[in-house]
């Protein structure tokens, strides 16, 4: 079963996010209180905890939000989901809009470790139905792109 292991926000762009008890997601906005909120295609970022585990195996101590992800997951291969996949996460419905991203500059993790998993293994989504997400919530694929 796929689940949320942490939810994170930041009030500034370009910094690590910090875990919070829950996030509120709104349509045409994204996550309330997060610096990346707005009416655009990357409202919510998701990263698999398994991807972070590959970095932890190199000896690095990494906390939720260190890769600037909003939702850290376990039990679902996010990077294999096609654009258009809809995910029920907590009470919200998300639609995958982008797999990975270009690395515009070296992030703190890459400068320290020489590697960053978010550009190749993270995904981005928009909010299709508002709701709240907390650690421990389940993740279900509701419909996939055709």
What are the chain's domains? 2-143 (2.40.33.20)
Check whether 104 has a pLDDT greater than 70: no
- H helices within the chain, ranges in order? 49-56, 108-113, 118-121
For residue 84, name the pLDDT band (cuts at 50, 70, 90).
very high
Share of the chain above pLDDT 90, in %: 71
Tell me what the mean pLDDT of segment 49-78 comes to: 92
Higher pLDDT, 50 or 113: 50
Torsions phi, psi for 75 (to 5 deg): 95, 10
Distance between CA atoms of residues 65 and 6, nearest Å: 8
Tell me what the mean pLDDT of segment 71-91 comes to: 96
pLDDT at 20: 98
């Amino acid at each position: 079963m796929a689940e949320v292991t942490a939810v994170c926000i930041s009030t500034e762009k370009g910094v690590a996010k910090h875990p919070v008890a829950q996030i509120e997601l709104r349509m045409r906005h994204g996550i309330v209180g997060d610096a990346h909120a707005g009416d655009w295609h990357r409202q919510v970022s998701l990263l698999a905890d398994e991807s972070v585990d590959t970095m932890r195996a190199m000896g690095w101590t990494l906390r939720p939000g260190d890769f600037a992800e909003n939702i850290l997951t376990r039990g679902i291969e996010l990077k294999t989901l096609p654009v258009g996949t809809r995910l029920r996460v907590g009470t919200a419905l998300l639609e995958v809009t982008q797999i990975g991203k270009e690395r515009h500059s070296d992030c703190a993790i890459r400068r320290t470790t020489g590697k960053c998993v978010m550009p190749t293994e993270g995904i981005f989504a928009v909010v299709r139905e508002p709701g709240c997400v907390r650690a421990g919530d389940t993740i279900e694929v509701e419909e996939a792109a055709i």
